[in-house]
Amino acid sequence: MSVDAGLNEAHLTVRHGPLAGPVLGRVVGMLAARADCPIDRLDDALLIADAVASRAGSYSDDGRIGVLVSAQTGAVELNIGPLQENGAQQLIASAELPGVGNVLERVADELLPERSNSNGEYLRIRMAFGPAGRASTSTGGTDAT
Amino acid sequence: MLTGGPDGPPEPLPEEVTATPDLELKLPARADNIAVVRHAFGGLAEALDVGEQALADIKLAVTEACTNVVIHAYDDDELGPLEVAAFIDDRMLTVAIRDSGRGIVPRTDSPGLGLGLPLIATLAESLELGSGPADRTEVLMTFRLDGSDDPA
């Protein structure tokens, strides 16, 4: 997966473990802030980053977490992978917290498992903020398929 | 190869840094992305309980290396990638900064003061300039993660 030079995005690959949370959180926070993400949604974005960092390594083949983080005006997207077969669904399911519900489903506007013919499975998480981001969110809510 | 360190002989560079890195970050080589790299190393330092002085040295050296990529690696109308890889081994950190640009060549029209690489050589345990995987230009630095926090 490569980055588009003209966009506000970064591709991070980090070994599953104590590094993943702090590093992914900083990268997501930085790009989201640069896209004028409001403070309450920035907190949500970091919640998503923490959930991904703590669990995604269990569903990848090599124990490494790959995340393409992109932020435009109105939305932040995390494209996580490659994951094992059904890894995207398992990652979503693993974010269930007793008494809280599923963190990813509650916070994200879109959860979209995607299959790459050559390179396993990916989970695209989209979190919208502000009128521009909401307008381009097709489902207007969680779409965990 | 350029090596250097402020105290005593420089640490030998890892013989092979083609191992899987603990952290890889790939971004467009733009000035505003250098802050993203600095933040990422802040997160790395938090996870590894790195002291303030050691972190400041790492951030400054990494910033200098990334700035070199942004300023020198690509033509003005070209926007290529900036790649950062970090390898952690027994309280030693090896950082590789890579680009796909023109390579490290002298510039008569350089906008900088030429202090970047000497500064990195002072801050890092060792420094090597060369070619990384796929013939990309690479600056390779090693740092001691448990360095003294005493600035003296």
Span B114-138, pLDDT tens digits: 677 889 999 999 999 988 777 789 9
The CATH number of residue B55's host domain is 3.30.565.10
**Region class of A87: left (phi > 0), else alpha (psi between -120 and 50), else beta:** alpha
Give the C-alpha separation, A95 to A103, whole Å: 6
Closest partner residue to B44 (CB to CB) among A2, A23, A31 is A23
| Domain-located, residue B16 | no
Q: Average model confidence (pLDDT) for chain B?
A: 84
Closest CB to B47 among A10, A19, A64: A19
Complex ipTM value: 0.86
Task: Tell me the three state secondary structure of residue B65.
Answer: helix
Q: Which of B32, B34, B44 to mutate to test the interface with A (most CBs of A within 10 A)?
A: B44
Interface test with A, best of B36, B49, B58 (most A CBs within 10 A): B36
**Beta strand pairing status for B92-99 and A75-83?**
unpaired
Mind listing the domains of chain A with CATH numbers?
Answer: 9-135 (3.30.565.10)
Are B101 and B74 contacting, i.e. CB atoms less than 8 angstroms apart?
yes
Per-residue pLDDT of B57-105, as tens digits, reads 999 999 999 999 999 889 888 889 999 999 999 899 999 999 998 777 6
Range of the domain at B33: 23-144
Stretch (H or E) spanning A122 = strand A120-128
Q: Are A67 and A78 in contact (CB under 8 A)?
A: yes
Cβ within 8 Å, pair A34-B32:
yes
Instruction: Indicate the average pLDDT of chain A.
Output: 88
Compute the distance between CA of residue A115 and CA of residue B90 in angstroms, rounded to an integer: 38
User: For chain B, what is the domain count?
Assistant: 1
Whether B6 is in a domain gets the answer no
How many angstroms from the chain centroid is the CA of residue B138?
A: 9
